[in-house]
Structure 1
């Protein structure tokens, strides 16, 4: 069965040192990332982008949080006084925005903290947790709006179109400002994408509220208020589902969407002559844009154990931007793809 690189065999001590060298490279990459490295693209068609936890991201999210929280209160009051479900729904969405941006800000604060003995990858995955919570909040919001809309359609209530229009227009400008602010951050972050989705939902909500106010003012047809509230919520469900899937994939340590395990295995075999077989390949993401991998390799006849691991690591970084990889050398005649067996 499989033996680790530290067990007997020629050159195994050197291979063991190289197999763990990736941990040192990973720490160097993390430190370099804090100084603004945003990844790179490779000429073979595989583009990569490893987002960083930067102070700029933290700053834009904090400003957006303050603006959103401030106007949320005003919109709740305006919706209550005007009797508009569209405004109340939009204010409720802004409440989730406030929570989402608060989580985003907290995730960046924690994400800049270094690794320690208990959290060897640091706090980078906190941004994925924030994105997951954001998506769930969007789903819950649409359910609440649908319930309130049915209630309003069954029991219509008067709506003051003038105050509703004024508040909706102010909300539109605030949301545009927050959206442009977040666009200055790193949009490859799950957290930033989640915050942008919330703000887009608010923009749609403000447009819907303005439309409803105009229709009510000229026709007195109040059902347009709950109807538009439902429509603007449905529009964000698709984006919320995409965000939920993306965050869940990382939390479940699924293979990144741009990597196919069998294609990776064949590519390593074709690029590294010292390697005769690659097996037990596992690839996952530590956080958004930070893939990691483990695998076992069998050396070709006369393969150089001292350099094979480094060459595999170089191939993985060049092609897939995998900067943290643990490579184990399998010694002996047994095929590398045999199933593992429990000890007797």
Structure 2
């Protein structure tokens, strides 16, 4: 987490969201506004999301141990997945209730709705500003930031709806806004679900593996590359392993080639951790990516 994203900022964002939640719950009950009540539940989720995000980051920053040799960075990926999944679930439930309200409109007090929505928007906007920088480089913070941004957008929709209700008394605008915001939140949350799931399933990062193989093969003494593996610890840390065919060299001659390969992968492809297995002729004719049947022919 960036230095600017201190525990104090997370605490401030959490307190803001708890206050907004109580304020919107009361405002929603007094005005009869579903969009305010839905915004209140989103804000409650935001407060829990911020706490979860901060705890996950603290766990993720712990040093590696004998039981977790890659460290604990996946804690943040799990938190991001859970945050996004909860956000989608809550949005679906509120969308269902909004459809019911569209079919059976209920009276809404636009003036109370407007006042609460404006205060909520300003508070949510301030919270998103506090977390904006870290959201650019961290899935965990990005998921939390999305919670806050979605609430800020929801508040804008509620403000518009409150104005329309106050002027023209069209109460069906309230559940309509709830549906639109819910759909937008689901649309924005799905990529986080997909990316975190790919990381947890050891999916390969988006690299040009054919180009990597060609670059390695252009190094002196390298005759071939096979059994390449790459996966992500989190969205920023790539782990890479590969078998490299070389001439029959001594270990002291192989180590400089290892360093060249590591420097190439780090500088050009952003790989953080490299494991190389040198071989003379073994596996030279095998595929670039591991085939579980290859061992049967060795």
TM-score normalised by structure 2 residue count: 0.91
Task: Label 1:262 to 1:107 Cα distance change in 2 as closer, same or farther (>3 A).
Answer: same
Task: Label 1:76 to 1:229 Cα distance change in 2 as closer, same or farther (>3 A).
Answer: same
- Stretch deviating more after TM superposition (58-67 or 118-127): 58-67
**For residue 233 of structure 1, what is the aligned residue in structure 2?**
182
Give the deviation of 1:192 after TM superposition: 1.5
**For residue 230 of structure 2, what is the aligned residue in structure 1?**
283
**For residue 340 of structure 1, what is the aligned residue in structure 2?**
294
Report the structure, 1 or 2, having the larger helix content: 2
Q: Counterparts in 2 of 1:147-166, with a 5 A limit?
A: 147-166=96-115
Deviations 1:87-128 (A, max 9, x none): 011111112212221211111111221111111122111111
**For residue 30 of structure 1, what is the aligned residue in structure 2?**
none
**For residue 114 of structure 1, what is the aligned residue in structure 2?**
63
CA contact (8 A) 2:38 2:178 kept: yes
Quote the Cα distance in structure 2 between the aligned partners of 1:218 and 1:127.
46
Aligned residues: 290
Quote the Cα distance in structure 2 between the aligned partners of 1:221 and 1:186.
38
Helix, strand or coil at the partner of 1:57: coil
Give the deviation of 1:235 after TM superposition: 1.7
**For residue 309 of structure 1, what is the aligned residue in structure 2?**
258
Deviations 1:199-253 (A, max 9, x none): 1211111011111111111111111100011111212222111111111121111
Unaligned runs of 5+ in 1: 1-52
TM-score normalised by structure 1 residue count: 0.79
Quote the Cα distance in structure 2 between the aligned partners of 1:286 and 1:138.
24
CA contact (8 A) 2:102 2:172 kept: yes
Deviations 1:28-49 (A, max 9, x none): xxxxxxxxxxxxxxxxxxxxxx
Equivalent of 2:272 in 295, 298, 323: 323
**For residue 250 of structure 1, what is the aligned residue in structure 2?**
199
CA RMSD of aligned residues (A): 2.0
Give the deviation of 1:297 after TM superposition: 0.4
Deviations 1:52-75 (A, max 9, x none): x35533423332122112211211
Quote the Cα distance in structure 2 between the aligned partners of 1:245 and 1:58.
28
**Whose relative contact order is higher, 1 or 2, with alpha carbons under 8 Å and at least 6 apart?**
1
Helix, strand or coil at the partner of 2:53: helix
CA contact (8 A) 2:21 2:43 kept: yes
Q: Counterparts in 2 of 1:174-193, with a 5 A limit?
A: 174-185=123-134, 187-193=136-142
The yes-or-no answer on 1:269 pairing with 2:209 is no
Helix, strand or coil at the partner of 2:276: strand
